Amino acid sequence: MENEKMKKVKEVLENNAALKHAITIMHWDLETEAPLLAVDKISKTLGYLIGESYSMVINDEFKNLVYSINTDKLKELDRKIIEELKKEYFEKLEKIPKEEYKKYSELKIISSKKWEEAKIKNDYSIFKSYLGEIIKFNKKIIKYRGYKGHPYNTLLEDYEPGITVKEADEFFGKIKNELSPLIKKIIQKNISDNENEAKEKFKKMIFDIEKQKELSKHALDIINFRFDKGVLKESEHPFTTNVDNKDVRVTTHYYKDNLLSSLYSTIHEGGHGLYEQNVDDVISDTILGTGTSMGIHESQSRIYENMFGRSEEFLSFIYPKLDIMFKLGENGINFNIFYKIANEVQASFIRTEADELTYPIHVLIRYELEKEIFDNLDNETDVDELAKKWQDKYEEYLGIRPETYTEGILQDVHWSDGLFGYFPSYALGSAYAAQIYNAISKKIDINGKMKKGDFTEINNELKEGIHKYGKTRTPEELLVNMTGEPFNPKYYIDYLKEKFSLIYGLK
């Protein structure tokens, strides 16, 4: 009986997965290849497909079927599938009326394109009314879905289950108190003329785009990203998307005057990609066959990008190749300088280009702004005021004031796509990564492996500890499983203090 019902549920999910497959690929196309004027048609088609996908699962017949199943009689995986269905579809999605949901999906697509245009032109007026609409929709969504404690908790829950304003306040409080003094010391420290000159020279160098492409491909090969079940392309804002564990797509962005940007974007997205490629075959085709949360996802991208990718040992492995490709030595960039450039701490405007130490401050700023936006669900957010608050916070926390919108409120894609509550997972992910790194280092000589660019054993640890489970385990279960304790930000703070005090000679 229960098995018969489960079979019917799976049939519906399989058909829905086919629609989602089409939606994913059209989104991918929109971000990578589609011409500008194709956007209207694509957004209509996507709106239709998303509406169909919604109706397929949000209806009384399917709901009754799902709720009629006695989950005690199911195998563990099937039980978890039913639990996920109830949570994602009937506790979240169903609460939003179909027409609203469809309108919102279309709005997000247009709004993302307006954002892109506004960002390129540094013209906030192109985008700000859309931002206002998106915020309004999110406030409505919170009302439809309800909330416990702070209204913002409902959005946080979508990206990092288990983290509420209470936990986030505590975490970001530590970031503020423990890291700000160190950042201040480093920024005020005098750097030798020689080092400064070399750094300036590096910033003025031009790096052939074709060679950068070759390097990005090489970097993915080193970390064992599989090209028989993945691809690398280009987009304005690097991202990863996947259909299942055999179709994982990552993007990067090449700038001719910035070698490190494409290299580290590629390694970052490669980390996301490995997570998805390593999900176990048994669950890959189910709704649990993807990363468990954005925070855990970010822990995987950032452990590759920063803890492995920006380590002295990994850089010593890859430097000779870079030297040959881009004539670094000839231009006065020896290895020591290069290591310092890859880990240069600066008060800067752009989050995605920020160094590891100031990075969480960029996230803290977004967290505080979002928390304030959703503090009150009934007022209309003043989007001009919001842009000014963005500037004020940069001045307050990093001592610099962005004078263009492109360097300020327009820099990130997230808000244009309705992704409120997402940013905190970037900083949480970095902190998870430090805790995970610490656990792996007790078993494997990570530095020894990095010197040889050998990721085999490290990848295996991450696959067995995290990747293969997909969504069948919660973030907290994974952390306890892998590190023996729940989330503890101490590892992250210690790691940052240790690494950057050493680089800047403060020890």
Pair of tokens at residue 443: 């078993």
- Catalytic (active site) residue 269: yes
Residue 232 vs 322, nearer CB to Zn ion: 232
Strand segments, DSSP code E, in 76-203 are none
Minimum CB separation of residue 415 from Zn ion in Å reads 16
Closest CA to 160 of 36, 359, 53, 299: 299
Residue 212 vs 301, nearer CB to Zn ion: 301
Minimum CB separation of residue 324 from Zn ion in Å reads 30
Minimum CB separation of residue 154 from Zn ion in Å reads 22
Closest CA to 103 of 68, 143, 140, 77: 140
Which H or E element spans position 93? none
User: Which residue of the set 157, 160, 269, 298 is catalytic?
Assistant: 269
Residues 265-324 touching Zn ion, rule: CB under 5 A, are 301
Minimum CB separation of residue 119 from Zn ion in Å reads 19
Residue 51 vs 424, nearer CB to Zn ion: 424
- The helix-helix angle for 2-32 and 39-57 (nearest 10°) equals 170
What gap in Å lies between CA 405 and CA 119, rounded to an integer?
Answer: 7
Closest CA to 97 of 146, 66, 58, 130: 58
Give the helix ranges, DSSP H, for 285-399.
294-302, 312-326, 335-342, 359-373, 383-398
What gap in Å lies between CA 175 and CA 459, rounded to an integer?
Answer: 29
As separate numbers, helices (DSSP H) first and strands (DSSP E) second, the chain gives 22, 3
Q: Is 400 left (phi over 0), alpha (psi -120 to 50) or beta?
A: beta
> Is residue 138 near Zn ion by the rule CB under 5 A?
no
Residue 308 vs 338, nearer CB to Zn ion: 308
Residue 112 vs 301, nearer CB to Zn ion: 301
What gap in Å lies between CA 436 and CA 450, rounded to an integer?
Answer: 16
Q: Is 142 helix (H, G, I), strand (E, B) or coil?
A: helix
Total of chain residues touching Zn ion, rule CB under 5 A: 1
Q: 281: exposed, middle or buried (C-beta count within 10 Å: 0-12, 13-18, 19+)?
A: exposed
Residue 151 vs 295, nearer CB to Zn ion: 295
Residues 343-362 touching Zn ion, rule: CB under 5 A, are none
Minimum CB separation of residue 161 from Zn ion in Å reads 18
Q: Which residue is nearest to Zn ion (CB)?
A: 301
Minimum CB separation of residue 298 from Zn ion in Å reads 5
Q: Which residue has the tokens 């940069």?
A: 394
Active-site residue set: 269
Residues that bind Zn ion (CB under 5 A): 301
